[in-house]
Structure formats: C-alpha cells, structure tokens
Amino acid sequence: MKIWIKYLIGCTLGIFAALFLPFENQIFKSVLHFLTELTLRMGRYFLLPVLFFSITIGITKLRGSGKLVRTGVLTVVSALVISLITTLIGIFSALIIKLPRIPISVEKISDPINLELPKRLLSLFPFNGAAGLFDGDFLLPVFVLAGFIGAGFASDAIRAKPAFTFFDCLARISFEVLSFFTDLIAIGMIAVSCTWALSLFDVLKTGTFTGLIILLAVDGLIIIVGLLPVLLRFLCRENHPYKVLFAGIAPIIAALFSGDVNFSLALNLRHAKDSLGVKRRIGAVSMPLFSVFARSGTALVIAVSFIVVLRSYSSLGVSLRDLMWLTGMSFGISFCLSAFPSGGPFVALTLLCTLYGRGFEAGYLLLKPAAFIICAFAAAIDTATALFATYYIASREKMIIAKDLKHYI
C-alpha cells in the first residue's frame, strides 16, 4: 500500500475519533496526548543520524564534482525568491479579503520573545563539535559539522576512502531505519490528526477565526496546487509538475496535522529519493537547507496574521509604510526560525508585535487560541516548498533518475 494512502487512512480515522470519542474525559485526553507525543518523537527519532551521514556524503560528492558552490547558490536564490513571492501573496490576500475583527484579548502579555540569534550562531561552533548532534530542533549545527567532514573527505579522496565508505554505509543504513519509522508512524497519525481535529473544532466553535482559517487554507492551495507546479513547469520545462505534488502528499499531510517541519522532513527525504528519484547528494544537502531556511509558508502566515491584528486594533487601515515594513520583516524573520520547527509563525508574530510597538505589543494574544492551526498551515506550505525546490535544484543539475508514477512509494 502506498504511504500516502496509509497516512490518509490514519488521518481520516483520527478525525472520526475526534468527532465520536469522549475526549472531555481526562483519561482519554491523557492517552491521546501520550500517543501524539510518542508519534512525533518517533518521526524525528532517526532524522539526525540520517542528516549527519547523508550530508557528509552529499558534500563530499558535490565538492568532488565541482558542483557544491553552484548548488549552494541555487538553493539560496530559490529560497529567497519563493519566500518573497509567498510573503507578497499573503499580504495581498489579507488586504483584499477584509476579515472580521477579532475581539481584543484581556489576557496579560507574557515574557518577551527573543530569537537569541547570537546564541544560535555560537551553537554552530560549540566547544565540543559532537554537541551539535544532540539538538533535535536546531538542525544547523549538524549541517555545519557534516559539511566540514564532507569537505575534508573531498580534499584527500584517496586517504579518506575508508572513512568515506564507512559513512556511506551508515548513511544507507540510517536511511533504511528512517524508512521503517516513516511507515510505522502512519498508525500514529491517528492520534496526531485527532489532536489536530480537536484543536480545530474548538477554534471553529467560537466562530472568531473561521475567516482567517479559510483564508490561510485558500492561500495554501494557491501556492501548493498552483504556484509551485507552475514555477516548476516554466523554470525546468517539466511536463508533469504535478508528479512532485503527488509525491508530496504524505509529507504535506504529516506537516499539516503535526505543524512540525522536522517531523515532515523525514518523509520529504524519503519521497525525494524513492519517488522522485532525486540523487542523494542533492536531496541530502538541499532538502534540509530548504526545510530550515525556506519557510515560505511561515512568511505568508506571519504577514496575514499581523495584518489581521492591525485591523482588529484599528479601523484606519494599513499604510504603505507599514506594508513595506511588514514585507521586509515577515520575509526576514522567516529565515531566522530554524530553531523553531513547530510554532515558529506564532513566535515570529510575537516578535513582530513587539518590534512594531505603538500599543500593539500584546496583539499576538488575539491569535493565541488559533496558534496551533495557523502554524499547521505554515508547516504544510513549508514542506511543499522544500520538496518542489529540491526537485528544481536536482532537475537543473541533472541529478534525477526518472521513475514512473506506479513506482512511487
């Protein structure tokens, strides 16, 4: 059975469970919370070993073939362009569709959010390099360590051959273990989707956030079903761009219901290789970078959410100066959330309200009840972007082994 079918069945059962099981019972709630947490942990369980060994091999092969710099530049440019486009889509959609005001919250402002960027930068070079292998949220230290080792392998290929072979074997073994877990957590998606559905039902019950949720859903469809395939069609002359979307069904489902881009990254890596035929050297390097930095869905959600907050506080509208500021800040902050694989958009909204000031410091509290659902939409778009962009890079570099749809996993 195809993986996407397993995930779809699991999510359907989870939604039905949310509809018919008595989760107002504390025991049911506790069991559901435990199963959801267990599934999310299993989804991330073997991600770091796969990234460490696979990135090392990928960097070695790309540097050996002289394509490392070109691949890096393409990845950075693609991330910048798609994030800017989605930011503008979010702003225009929020301006065109005037959503109802959200009642002002009387909740007290919490402690200020700090992205701690200097601390994050220092963590890329810990006193013990191996320390970077133990943070399941912040993946950049793993990338840096693996990158240096891969560059070292490429600098003296003959002497490094035994170690390279060892790492290559571990990369393949780790990927097989990861594949086992991605199959296994299809069952756990029942609990994950049930938790998501209960949150959604609670949010929709109030009626306050219905318009916002519909707007984000429509924006997500426009980007995932429209923008990304169209860009792939014209940039790569890809005759069948929707095959990438077909391969991304399971990762997008996982991202939507978990709200966690690291959770869906494991599925993205597997589908890029086993379904789309993206060679490991590209998938292992570009995919994590896109997942960490190209948070296009997050940028869109930040922009839409902030405009909703502004309009809820004031009827004066949004000035051109504010729009320019919001575009730059939403776009920029989306690249600084690598330490927040889940909940990143709400963290960014909190920071944005604080930076904007003018009495809006507590504006993020208006959207706090719907934060989980909002972040889930962002994660789904982020995951789709990572898969499409990785396929684009692989196509440009001619590192794809074409596969028939019937052979997609």
- Per-residue pLDDT tens digits for 194-252: 999 999 998 888 888 888 999 999 999 999 999 999 998 888 877 788 899 999 999 99
Q: Quick one: average pLDDT of 384-407?
A: 88
Q: Which range is least confidently modeled, 325-329, 340-344, 401-405?
A: 401-405
Q: Quick one: average pLDDT of 114-118?
A: 76
Q: How many domains is the chain partitioned into structurally?
A: 1
Distance CA 352, CA 360 (A): 9
List pLDDT tens digits, range 196-205. Answer: 999 999 888 8
pLDDT given for residue 106 in this prediction: 57
- Domain with 316, as residue range(s), is 3-407
Q: Quick one: average pLDDT of 124-134?
A: 76
Is the model's pTM score more than 0.75? yes
Burial class (CB in 10 A: 0-12, 13-18, 19+), 220: buried
Residues in the chain: 409
Dihedral sign (CA 297, 298, 302, 305)? positive
255, two tokens: 């991202």
381, two tokens: 């778009």
**Residue 268: closest CA among 299, 244, 295:** 244
- Residue 1, helix vs strand vs coil: coil
Distance CA 330, CA 41 (A): 29
Q: Quick one: average pLDDT of 282-293?
A: 87
Q: Which range is least confidently modeled, 26-40, 43-57, 93-107, 273-287?
A: 93-107
Q: Tell me which range, 121-130, 172-181, 307-316, is most confidently predicted by mean pLDDT.
A: 172-181
Contacts of 345 (CB under 8 A, 6+ apart): 298, 301, 302, 305, 374, 375, 378
- Give me the CATH number covering residue 176: 1.10.3860.10
The residues pairing with 190 across neighbouring beta strands, listed in sequence order, are none
Distance CA 37, CA 290 (A): 25
Q: Examine the pLDDT at 180 and tell me if it is beyond 60.
A: yes
Q: Quick one: average pLDDT of 165-187?
A: 90
Distance CA 132, CA 136 (A): 9
% of residues, the chain, pLDDT over 70 = 97
